[in-house]
Structure 1
Amino acid sequence: MIQYAYPRLDINVTKGLNHLLKSPFCIHPKTGKICTPFNPRTVEKFNPDTVPTINQLMAEVNEYDAELQKHLTNEEFMQTRGKDYKKTSLVKSIQVFDEFIRKLEDANPSKIDTAMEF
């Protein structure tokens, strides 16, 4: 299944900016689906049909904010709003990406090399 979802590297893909998803969290121009990273160890649980769309994320943020605003004054709401991505179904994908980046940073030998420069 993954072989069909893997990015195709041909001339049209390379020169077209909106041809295929090329990086995490970009939005497919026709479907509105978000390119979400996933843990390869749990690939069997990944379903490309259930990735969030930009419209879904906007609705989740609006719903979260509307519920919060019911219980707070305008001033309290503005102070406690928080990051929008934390209000959506995208938060798990962001955690997966953060973990990936942390592991890259830990494995980066340049940190060691810079400490040894004279």
Structure 2
Amino acid sequence: MNLLMILKGIAAIGTAATGLFSLIKPTAIDNFTGIIASGPRGITEIRSIFGALFIALGVAPFLFGEDGYRILGLGYLAIAAVRIVFIFVDKSAVSSNWISLAVEIVFGLILIIRK
């Protein structure tokens, strides 16, 4: 196993771990994301999107191989593209947004590179 595949695995596992954390502790993500669930509906939304979807996206590469890694990478790069624009439009240039952007770009690039 080469370094690139190890990094891809770390990115996929990190994605699934983020999802698992969001599924189990949905009210704890506000410390980093600024997203606060104002009631049970919001908690369900966090568990569904930040939880289940991130778990599925993180597990997909292990089920579907290289295509799964590339799709996950494309997802990260799409998020990064939107985030960079709206950091300025929404005037949300806070450290957690810059950290998220950096992770999204790094993970995205690692994941779309072919072997």
**TM-score under structure 1 normalisation?**
0.27
Higher helix share: 2
| TM-score normalised by the chain length of structure 2 | 0.28
Query: In terms of Rg, which structure is larger?
Result: 1
